[in-house]
Amino acid sequence: MSATRPSGTGAVIALRFDGSRLWALDQTLLPWREQELELRGASEVAAAIKRLAIRGAPLIGVAAAYGVALELAGDPQPRAALERACAELRVARPTAVNLARAVDRVRAAAEAAGVGEESAAALAQAREIHCEETAASEAMAAHGADLLAGARTLLTHCNTGALAAPGRGTALAVVAELADRGRLDGVLACEARPLLQGARLTVFELARLGIAHELVVDAAAPGLIAGGGIDAVIVGCDRVAANGDVANKVGSYPLALAARAGGIPFVVTGPTSTIDLGCGSGAEITIEERDADEVRSAAGAPHTLPGTRCRNPAFDVTPAALVTALVTERGVAQPVGAESILALLR
Ligand code: MRU
């Protein structure tokens, strides 16, 4: 089932639970059509996450948490439903640790509940994760805007706004906060091939927010940074290893190299739910490899020979040494490394 919402103005609500039903804006249709999907169980949520109708590290965690709760609701065998839902949702995408972490939290809450209480416990936990991520977004916006108080022109990659995380997002929440404080001249948004989250989603959000922006192809960004006039690069993250290495949308690593060469900060923004102390370094992070058809086409239109062999890593890893600062809801790690990350989590 789906419902078309009025377009043009107002806050972007990527995901909402109306008390009994979960609704998600289908991000594969943006920016052309704003249409919500109703998600009725774990399989539907997992499918929406896999095809990127729901995306962004914190948002897929929250969606999966509700997905587990939905699966339990009304099931006469909640323990079996829990097993089924967690197994399916936990592996819907491999890189963002928020997904597995949220599923594990809901599972633990349901398992700890008394007989007959599992479903209510799962839903309460999903709501709690949703609230926490919403609050984290506001805190990150404030910390990041304080850190980048002197920056007037920023460059960003992929989509890290309200479509990627509850609240105002991660990196784009910082951008929005700087704009609210009257400090920003504008933003350069990389298009983020192959699925164009920058061109389709970040431009959509920046236009909604009334923030001045220009779209650039990914390959133009390093040269523009070298040319001057960009004060900082700001991106989100899908998993931060214990040593501070950062997995984020493919194309982030070249931006970090260009930022270092150009002498400007490369700032990563994400909630602490994205930090994975179980991963010692970026080398241990599983990088999702997606379907080759995504590379063979752009916005649905084929642009190479059918059957051309492709590589399609959805993420890359930026070494901690290239990350100027990690902005979280608990504050800023700078320099970024094992010690500063542990201090954040303490
Ligand atoms: O493949 P996507 O669109 O889910 O990738 C999203 C990103 O890489 C974001 O930068 C990341 O999730 C952090 S922002 C919330």
Q: Output the DSSP codes for 262-277.
A: HT--EEEE--GGGEET
The preferred substitution site among 99, 175, 249 for testing ligand 1, maximizing ligand atoms within 8 Å of CB, is 249
For residue 277, how far is its CA from the centre of ligand 1 (angstroms)? Answer: 20
Instruction: Using the predicted structure, report yes or no on whether residue 9 has a pLDDT greater than 90.
Output: no
pLDDT in tens, 137-182: 999 999 999 999 999 999 999 999 999 999 999 999 999 999 999 9
For residue 300, how far is its CA from the centre of ligand 1 (angstroms)? Answer: 20
Q: What is the mean pLDDT of the chain?
A: 96
CA gap 200, 177 in Å, rounded: 21
How big, in percent rounded to 5, are the helix, strand and coil portions of the chain? Answer: 45, 20, 40
Name the more confident of 184 and 2: 184
CA gap 325, 305 in Å, rounded: 42
The crossing angle, in degrees rounded to 10, of helices 57-72 and 42-50 is: 160
Residue 238 a catalytic site member: yes
Catalytic one among 26, 238, 245, 276? 238
> Confidence class of residue 2 from pLDDT cuts 50, 70 and 90?
very low
Q: What is the mean pLDDT of residues 44-70?
A: 98
Give per-residue burial for 285-316: e unless 16+ CB within 10 Å, then b: bebeebeeebbbebeeeeeeeeeeeeebebbb
For residue 170, how far is its CA from the centre of ligand 1 (angstroms)? Answer: 10
| Contact of 110 with 73, CB cutoff 8 Å | no
Cα angle for residues 272, 103, 141 (degrees, 5° grid): 30
Ligand 1 nearest atom to the CA of residue 237, by list position: 13
What pLDDT does residue 299 have?
85
Nearest to 110 by CA among 125, 98, 99: 125
What pLDDT does residue 11 have?
83
Q: 269: Cβ below 6 Å to ligand 1?
A: no
The preferred substitution site among 168, 238, 272, 318 for testing ligand 1, maximizing ligand atoms within 8 Å of CB, is 238
Ligand 1 nearest atom to the CA of residue 158, by list position: 10
Q: Which class for 157: exposed (0-12), middle (13-18), buried (19 or more C-beta within 10 A)? A: buried
Sign of the dihedral through C-alpha 283, 285, 291, 293: negative
Among 9-23, 33-47, 125-139, 179-193, the range scoring the smallest mean pLDDT is 9-23
End-to-end Cα separation, the chain, in angstroms: 44
How long, in residues, is the chain?
A: 346
Q: What is the mean pLDDT of residues 240-260?
A: 98
Q: Which amino acid is at 163?
A: L
Instruction: Using the predicted structure, report yes or no on whether residue 4 has a pLDDT greater than 60.
Output: no
Residue 23 is classified by DSSP as E
Instruction: Look at the block and give the residue holding tokens 């058809």.
Output: 293
Q: 179: Cβ below 6 Å to ligand 1?
A: no
The full set of domains in the chain, from first to last, is 2-135 (1.20.120.420), 136-345 (3.40.50.10470)
pLDDT in tens, 52-63: 999 999 999 999
